[in-house]
Amino acid sequence: MGLGTVAVTGAAGTIGSMVRAALRPEADRLVLLDRVPLRPEAGNEDVRTVDLRDAPAVESALAGVDRVLHLGGVPDEAPLPDLLEANVLGTHHVLEAARRTGAGRVVLASSNRVTGFHPAGHLTGPREPVRPDGLYGVSKVAVEALGRLYADKFGLSVICLRIGSFEPGPTEPRHLATWLSPRDALGYIRAALTAPPATRFVTAYAVSANTRRFWELPDLAELAYVPVDDAEARAAEVPGPLPAGPTGVQGGRYAEPGFTLRHLRP
């Protein structure tokens, strides 16, 4: 299936930069949005300097787009007002622009951190209750809720990817469960962008096929991608002691009080 015209928000970010290079040969046109100025690197690239808080600018940028990959926002723990503005309000503007301009598919970058307080020994699926491990996780819960609303109320086709630990390779013990390799990240993103048009709403964990993973792999009837990489093959390269067993919570250090307390008013 051809990709047509694809918009990527957060195109200057780590995942956005990788996606840009990978999708460039597959898309008729790439519309690349970021607050950071970008330069076009190919004839089919259209770069826009856009703040996602600016609803009219977002709508203008998405005019004529077939698919949207929404990666933009604050990527980690931060004060809640900042997260609400960048992640929640920004996502609302993207979804509303997609509704108004007639985009056929929106892929939202959610996070594994929406369920970080589930036990590490529990294989968790996307239909289980959310248990965010911090304020960032709370903002991503809201992102998913907005996607569900726009799918149910306005018929927009939305796929939420709960992205794992996106790294070239596992670099800490938690990554043996949570690693998402670049190859698998692209596989999930392509599958989400090209899922059948009748797909109304899907939430799926985007994680490599790690032997110790915390999360269920997607139902192939909903998202047709099978990951190929396993962090276990690189366990000997991971510094520090390996996890002793299924104790603690999936969020690890992200679930510790201090990780959030530093972002709260003293």
CA distances from 87 to 9, 136, 191, 253 (A): 12, 9, 23, 22
Residue matched to tokens 């009837």: 221
pLDDT tens-digit map of 11-66? 999 999 999 999 999 999 999 999 999 999 999 999 999 999 999 999 999 999 99
Task: Note the pLDDT of residue 1.
Answer: 57
Q: Which among 58, 65, 70, 69 has a CA at the least distance from the CA of 96?
A: 58
Structural domain boundaries enclosing 126: 5-261
DSSP 164-233: -EE-SS--STTHHHHEE-HHHHHHHHHHHHHS-TT--EEEEEE----TT-SBPPPPTTTS-------GGG
How far is 135 from 116, CA to CA, in rounded Å?
11
Helix (H, G, I), strand (E, B) or coil at 34: strand
Task: Note the pLDDT of residue 119.
Answer: 95
266 within a domain of the structure (yes/no): no
Task: Note the pLDDT of residue 245.
Answer: 58
* CATH code assigned at 154: 3.40.50.720
70 within a domain of the structure (yes/no): yes
Q: Which among 126, 199, 111 has a CA at the least distance from the CA of 158?
A: 199
Residue matched to tokens 């201090």: 258
Contacts of 130 (CB under 8 A, 6+ apart): 114, 115, 137, 141, 144
Task: Note the pLDDT of residue 62.
Answer: 98
Residues annotated as part of the active site: 136
Q: Are 230 and 179 in contact (CB under 8 A)?
A: no
Residue matched to tokens 């929406």: 114
Tokens of 118: 């589930």
228 within a domain of the structure (yes/no): yes
Ranges of H-type helices in 29-134: 55-62, 80-83, 90-101
Question: How many domains does the structure of the chain reveal?
Answer: 1
199 within a domain of the structure (yes/no): yes
Stretch 206-211: mean pLDDT: 98
How far is 19 from 193, CA to CA, in rounded Å?
12
71 within a domain of the structure (yes/no): yes
pLDDT tens-digit map of 218-240? 999 999 999 999 999 999 999 87
Q: Give one word for 96, left, alpha or beta, with left for phi > 0 and alpha for psi -120 to 50.
A: alpha
Sign of CA dihedral 167, 67, 222, 162: positive
How many whole angstroms from its chain centre is CA 153?
A: 22
